[in-house]
Amino acid sequence: MNQINFEQDLFSNESLENYAEILFWGLETARQNIYKPDDAILVQGHLPALPLVKKIQRMLLKRGLNPIVRLTPPADMEREFYEYANDNQLSFITPGEESLMNVIHGAIYVRAPEKLTHLQHIDAEKQNIVSRSRNFLKKIMQKRQQEKTSSWTLGTYPTQARAKHANLSLQTYAQKVKAACHLDAPHPLSMWKDLYAQIVDTKEWLLSLDIRQIHVESKQMDLRLSLGDDRKWLGLSGRNIPSFEIFTSPDWRTINGKYYSDQPAFVSGNVIKDIRLTFNNGHIVKATAETGEDFLNKRLKTDPGASRVGEFSLTDKRFSKINCYMADILFDENYGGTFGNCHIALGSAFDASYNGENLLTMAQREFLGLNDSAIHWDIINTEPKVVTATLSSGKRQVIYENGVYTR
């Protein structure tokens, strides 16, 4: 394993403390329920993120909470796992893992991978086995999120691997992360709270329109979808930092037309570029990619829902300070730039997009057209585009153009 330098001066002590506070704000916002002393919080991160993980642990201890710190396996260990593990080992669940998911009150994940393409020679079906076997753990957390007893949030710490694939120096990359997360603002949490209010206003406007169908048009896209019954719009829930997108989970059965992703994606140790998908009544009938097509098609076979849409999203460029490709889906799905972005996610839908109070059963999810899958993969388009909504009245209205909502 290559030695990792933890002393690189990427963030000041103040920036790290601000980052930890913002992540905790995100966690508490997502839970919609304040934390109290003795609650247990899982803190998991890659080794390069240790400076931030330390600050998170200290912050939690000062609040009287119980941090449970875990290391995300480094790239060489992850690669060897997939190289040598048999099917039983791939599907093995560590004893106590299910119990942990049932008792923790929150989780903060800090992603800082040392490599991004270390699994490109691994059979994608091996990763599918892992995803399917661990899906029940994700469902536990989703259920507890709905019950407001637990939640999670994600953050990113800069690494040379991310910077290299984004064609930036490590120092410039770190500056982009700081700007996107408002780490050096005079009052960072106030910035996030103000942004939260703006996004709430935009979500309420979208809900008030009573949208039935959406048509997305760009140079290389022509996609139609229906929101489905009893839907609402989501955004800045706290589960991602940063987060500027406004999104929902449409009725997957209504997706028709062509979708194109112009942003390279680094997923599960693979790179996939120029993804083109053709949908017919919710089903992908054609899937190609300039790079990583074999991985794409195997990923779509993870389970029946992996080739269906679980999310539709638009980012208003006025909310986002992300102005370049970051080789990190967490940032790229929130890209502002010149024309904002739209993205779809293949895989699991968000139960929270249901505009009702009750926890949904599987039968209810199927009835509503909320997709179910072990994966959730955001595929991003940054072209200039026009998004037109057909309202319940039959009126057609442009709701998004030139990277901004038209409210």
> pLDDT digit string (tens) for 105-164?
999 999 999 999 999 999 999 999 999 999 999 999 999 998 999 999 999 999 999 999
**151 CB-near residues (< 8 Å, 6+ apart):** 27, 30, 31, 106, 107, 144, 145, 238, 239
pTM for this prediction:
0.94
Distance CA 15, CA 44 (A): 19
Mean of the per-residue pLDDT values for the chain?
A: 95
Return the half-sphere exposure (C-beta side, CA atoms, 13 A cut-off) of residue 295.
21
Query: DSSP character for 350?
Result: P
Q: Look up residue 235 and give its two tokens.
A: 């955004």
**367 CB-near residues (< 8 Å, 6+ apart):** none
Residue 189 pLDDT class (50, 70, 90 cuts): very high
pLDDT given for residue 45 in this prediction? 98
φ/ψ (deg, to 5) at 299: -60, -35
Residue 8 pLDDT class (50, 70, 90 cuts): low
Distance CA 306, CA 372 (A): 8
Q: Look up residue 360 and give its two tokens.
A: 């949904």
Examine the pLDDT at 2 and tell me if it is beyond 60.
no
Examine the pLDDT at 204 and tell me if it is beyond 90.
yes
pLDDT given for residue 9 in this prediction? 79
Distance CA 244, CA 101 (A): 28
* Residue among 211, 285, 300, 223 nearest 256 (CA): 223
Examine the pLDDT at 3 and tell me if it is beyond 60.
no
* Residue among 9, 8, 69, 12 nearest 41 (CA): 69
pLDDT given for residue 357 in this prediction? 75
State the CB neighbour count (10 A cutoff) for residue 112.
23
- What are the distances in angstroms from CA 154 to CA 20, 85, 206, 242, 374? 11, 28, 26, 9, 18
User: What percent of the chain is modeled with pLDDT above 70?
Assistant: 98
- What are the distances in angstroms from CA 17 to CA 10, 193, 196, 198, 209? 13, 17, 21, 25, 41
Q: What angle do CA 365, 370, 373 make, to 5 degrees?
A: 100
Which domains occur in the chain, in start order?
A: 13-186 (3.40.1830.10), 189-405 (no CATH)
pLDDT given for residue 12 in this prediction? 95
